[in-house]
Amino acid sequence: MERVNTNVEFCINGKRIVDIGFFLSALKSLKHEGFGCSFYDMVLINEKIEGLESIFYFKCVMCNRIESVRSAAPNTFSSPNMAAVIGCVSVGIGHTQLNEFCASLDMPGMSNKTYQRYHSKLSPCVEEENKKLMKEAAAEEARLALERGDIDKNGTPVISVIVDGAWSKRSYRTNYNASSGVETTSIGLDSTIYKKISQINERLVINAESLLYNVDTNSAETYNSVVAKFVGGKRINYSLKGSYETRCKAAAISFNSKGNFLDIIYGSADDSVTGYYTKSFLKKREKQQLRTKKRK
């Protein structure tokens, strides 16, 4: 604020994302005791842009007090910055596409640094939810193997293994520059299953006939097609800073949850309730999925 001329009204351009309820009530609360000033007595003197969020600075023309109002509550799963990164991972676009989308809306975009910061906050949550779903899938597989009588001499349930590979960027003969990869595989179940899962979690997705897509062909291929969506068809080299791994785990969550990555991620957040339109979208999609299932 130091270098801002507080006597000149700030010229604001373009559009912004605002949490409309939050923003309006913040504007309403702008009141100065004694002078009876309100929002109508304030002029916008500056804006601090933090990715898709803004802090607006107002100056009261009656008593010269300076007030700040945020466009949305920061640092929750539903704050615009975090929600945008979650959305990018969910639909399979990256930072570049997000900024092109914002530009089309005549909105400020997000710097790469800010994008990475929010992405780093999201990654542990994706990892955690992925682990939970994999444990569930493993337990379901063990149950089915026992039902079928697929057990070894020690009575340990055994499941089939499918191995396939996927890499973060297309490599052409002499151009093997992708620094990370993922394997889709499943393993024989024994008492150390969970330990094994956590050891090779980076590279493993269990092939289970119980998986909710209910596929009877090559499960690894199906998983790879979900990965392809989450990595945006390999248009970007995601190998930096664990982005590709996070996207593969996001794809695994989607694969193991009927494509409900958003539902799982927002459901895992304890700092906020899933937003109204997020919920209504998820409900609508659930209904569509049910209709499609019935038709089959």
Interatomic CA distance for residues 75 and 283, integer angstroms? 25
For 230, the 3-state DSSP assignment is helix
Distance, in Å, from the CA atom of 241 to the CA atom of 28, rounded to the nearest integer, reads 42
Q: Could you tell me the smallest distance in angstroms from the CB atom of residue 44 to Zn ion? A: 15
Nearer to Zn ion, 32 or 121 (CB): 32
Closest separation between CB of residue 50 and Zn ion, Å? 26
Token couple for 119: 């992405």
Beta carbon of residue 65, minimum distance to Zn ion (angstroms, whole number): 5
Q: What is the DSSP letter of 115?
A: H
- Quick check: 248 and 182 in contact, CB under 8 A? yes
**Alpha carbon 148 to chain centroid, angstroms:** 37
Q: How far is the CB of 18 from Zn ion (least distance, A)?
A: 23
Q: Is the separation of the CB atoms in 267 and 144 below 8 Å?
A: no
Structure tokens at 155: 């009575």
Query: What sections of 149-185 are H helices per DSSP?
Result: none
Query: Is the CB of 31 or the CB of 279 nearer to Zn ion?
Result: 31
Minimum CB distance to Zn ion smaller for 35 or for 213: 35
If the CB atoms of residues 27 and 107 are measured against Zn ion, the closer one turns out to be 27
Query: Amino acid letter at 179?
Result: S
In angstroms, what is the minimal distance from the CB of 67 to Zn ion? 9
CB atoms within 10 A of CB 184: 27
Residue of 245, 243, 273, 20 whose CA lies nearest to 118: 243
Longest dimension (CA), the chain: 86
In whole angstroms, the minimum distance from the beta carbon of 35 to Zn ion comes to: 5
> 42-79 b/e with 16+ CB inside 10 Å = b?
beebbbeebbbbbebbbbbeeeeeebebbbbbeebbbb
Query: Is 66 or 125 the residue whose CB approaches Zn ion more closely?
Result: 66
- Which is nearer to Zn ion, 42 or 84 (by Cβ)? 42
Considering the complex, state which of residue 37 and residue 166 has its C-beta at the smaller distance from Zn ion.
37
Q: Where does this chain bind Zn ion (CB under 5 A)?
A: 32, 35, 37, 60, 62-63
